[in-house]
Amino acid sequence: MSSSNQLNQSSRFLANKPRNEVNVQGYTFRIDGNTTFVMNYGRWSEKLMKHYFELFEMKTSAANLDVFSVVSAIWCTTAERNLLWIGGFRPSQLLQAILPQVQHSCSQQQLSDIFSFVQSCQQAEDALAQGMEKLQQNLDKATAAGDKALKLTCVSQQMSFLKQANHVRQQFLYQLSRLLTICQYAEFLLAFGECLYNSQPWSSL
């Protein structure tokens, strides 16, 4: 059978399907009343995002034992070190590397919303970064002076900054899931995982 005949038969097949079984624009396909693909794709995205949220919680628990190790992230990959920021990735910098890979499927409105969101992320990141820098200065002074009370205070504040940074990262993933379609967000998550374990994307930044 020729390719054109196969295409015509496929078109007739889809045309004869009930409307609730075929929705090409929504990437939905129903067979016997069961939605596949989009529903499963959405569940996959949710599970993967939940995985990252659990990772943030694990970092917080580990920080209760040794906040210095978590903030400095001595355990992270080489790629992660390229965007290290208060115990994890810096959202705006990560998106800078990923966006070129996913923007081809985004509308102008989506891109506008994403850029506005990135600006708000950068403001939150900069505020936390300035706070961490000042805190590190106080910690260095406390260590040099042997001031244990001030050092303990600084440790407590480091923990607070780490929690706030994790919150920014969590909101970053959550808000993008609202700005992108299911398929776009799944594509983003794949690129996100690739960036964390591949130093190549950072060579051009």
**Position 94: which residue type?**
L
Residue 8 has pLDDT above 80, yes or no: no
- Give start and end residues of each alpha helix (H) in the chain: 3-15, 38-72, 78-81, 91-102, 108-145, 148-179, 182-197
In a domain, 20, yes or no: no
Residue 35 has pLDDT above 70, yes or no: no
Question: For residue 202, what pLDDT is reported?
Answer: 46
- Give start and end residues of each alpha helix (H) in 73-147: 78-81, 91-102, 108-145
Percent of the chain with pLDDT over 90: 21
In a domain, 47, yes or no: yes
Question: For residue 12, what pLDDT is reported?
Answer: 41
DSSP string, 132-152: HHHHHHHHHHHHHHT-HHHHH
Note if the pTM is more than 0.75: no
Question: For residue 25, what pLDDT is reported?
Answer: 40
In a domain, 46, yes or no: yes
**Position 11: which residue type?**
S
Instruction: Compute CA distances 176 → 46, 115, 143, whole Å.
Output: 12, 11, 41
Name the residue among 178, 162, 40 with its Cα closest to residue 114.
Answer: 178
Mean pLDDT value across residues 27-56: 66
Mean pLDDT value across residues 34-48: 68
Question: For residue 199, what pLDDT is reported?
Answer: 53
Q: Which domain holds residue 133?
A: 32-197
Number of domains composing the chain: 1
In a domain, 26, yes or no: no
Residue 86 has pLDDT above 80, yes or no: yes
In a domain, 121, yes or no: yes
Question: How does pLDDT run across 174-201, given as a tens digit for each residue?
Answer: 899 899 988 788 888 888 888 877 755 4
In a domain, 12, yes or no: no
Question: For residue 53, what pLDDT is reported?
Answer: 79
Which has the minimum average pLDDT: 78-82, 127-131, 165-169? Answer: 78-82
Residue 14 has pLDDT above 60, yes or no: no
Residue 80 has pLDDT above 80, yes or no: no
